[in-house]
Amino acid sequence: MRTAPLGRGGVRATRLALGCAALGNLYRPVDDETAAATVDAAWDAGIRTFDTAPHYGLGLSERRLGAALRGRPRDTYTVSTKVGRLLVPYDGGGAGDDLAHGFAVPATHRRVWDFSGDGVRRSLEASLERLGLDRVDVVLLHDPDDHAEQALREGYPALERLRGEGVVGAIGVGMNQCALPARFLRETDIDVVLLAGRYTLLEQEGLADLLPEAAARGRNVVIGGVFNSGLLTDPGPGATYDYAPAPQAVLDRALRLKAVAERHGVALRSAALHFPFGHPAVASVLTGARSPEEVRDSVAQLRRPVPDAFWHELRAEGLLDPHAPVPSVR
């Protein structure tokens, strides 16, 4: 599978990357065998970039990903994890569950926000232990929405030092908003932004500031959430958007997108996977999967061409930002 650079340190990402939140039992349990088979299916399809975080299942995602990658040549794959939430054991914890945070795991730990330099290093050390690795390739400041100043003043310099020491190859920020990552691009020397849900077939907020800023500075963007929490896989009653029931106006827009796709013989999820690659700043698209079948479907959808006429009709119908670049089959 084709790769693209993430920063200037030699780190590369495959065109399609595997998001591993589901391996942390996002919303519902995934057994160990299915989690391992999901990573195996990604590997067999040529995916060599894997994104995880301590937040995902209170460390379960990192442990499962590390176990699934064990024995594979370390220089043949890229692992990205995140910092900003320390996992602190509960005294006598485990009696409840973590579903309030979206994960079907025992509540053995609590999350403590910490974007200090010490917190960054402690978080990364714990992640390496869970992953069973001596290094990761990419480290991202994870959702510093309410901690912007500490993340900029303390968290980022700590990551910069780790990159300078060769402990990590690329650093950045991962968020589901555009304004703060754009500020990081302007005020720091990050390599990459992971932008979730804000540059998709449904909405193109990232075009206003973040993506042009990244392109102008020669930085890379990884796009997550291309299905907008599942809405663009099969829009209909009960569909979710931003992890909540989709508002009617948003659902109606998704249904209009689906109708155009059907007129061109295109699966909506295929168009959603292809769309971000029209922008020159986009290096990779990150999709979550909780089964081998979901991995194989994403790979198959990305391999199916989307005709230029589809994008033309979206523009004509006012369903796509007129300034949004689109991929071409030519």
Task: Supply the residues annotated as catalytic.
Answer: 56
Q: Name the token pair of 271.
A: 């168009």
Q: How far apart are the first and last CA of the chain?
A: 19
Percent helix, strand, coil in the chain, to 5, is 40, 20, 40
Angstrom distance (rounded) from CA 133 to CA 128:
5
Q: Is 323 exposed, middle or buried, given 0-12, 13-18 or 19+ CB atoms closer than 10 A?
A: exposed
For 222, what's the count of Cα atoms within 13 Å in the CB-facing half-sphere? 33
Phi, psi angle pair for 142, to nearest 5°: -100, 110
Angstrom distance (rounded) from CA 4 to CA 17:
11
Alpha helices in the chain (DSSP H): 32-44, 60-69, 117-131, 148-150, 156-164, 179-187, 210-217, 248-263, 268-274, 292-303, 308-316
CB of 229 closer than 8 Å to CB of 26: no
Phi, psi angle pair for 88, to nearest 5°: -110, 125
